[in-house]
Amino acid sequence: MDKKGFSLIELLVALLIIGVLIALALPASRGMRQEAQKNRTQSDLKVIKLAIESFYRTYNRYPEPSAYQTTLLNASPRIFEERLYDPFTHQPKTEYRYKLGSGAVGPADARYYIIYSVGFNGSDEGCEVDNRTGVVTIKGDDIWISNGSVASPATVASPASP
């Protein structure tokens, strides 16, 4: 008997093997996507910090938190050309969070600030930096960067490396 092509069993086995390989590859690709988002976030936070520090050196105050990216985009020297958005939020085009040190009356009074992303869980659980001590307090898995140098023991999130 002259056999041409594949039997139905051989095709089903091949499809089963392909399905198993795809099932194994999907979780790995999801992890790589989250790692890429984390790296992008850390890079964005460093750029924003550089722009804030440049703004401070020029104007001797930090930008207002309510419209900080607009202020930085219009400042001279301009460090970034377009708004930077948090990739972890559930709302599209949500900017990274920026807060002045707690206890600061306004930008001229602020000594410390914090910029952060909501992190993998996508919820803003709150970040603070004390304006007197620079102690950073983080809740949840937020990714953050600050000019404060000391992290509180309750901090469980990872800072963007300097």
Average pLDDT of the chain, as a whole number: 85
Looking at residue 128, its pLDDT comes to 86
pLDDT of 63 over the 90 cut: yes
Whether the Cβ atoms of residue 145 and residue 49 lie closer than 8 Å to each other: yes
Whether the Cβ atoms of residue 130 and residue 16 lie closer than 8 Å to each other: no
Domain range list for the chain: 41-151
| pTM of the predicted model over 0.85 | no
Query: Stretch 115-143: mean pLDDT, rounded?
Result: 86
CATH class of 41-151: alpha beta
What is the Cα–Cα distance from 79 to 98, expressed in whole angstroms?
17
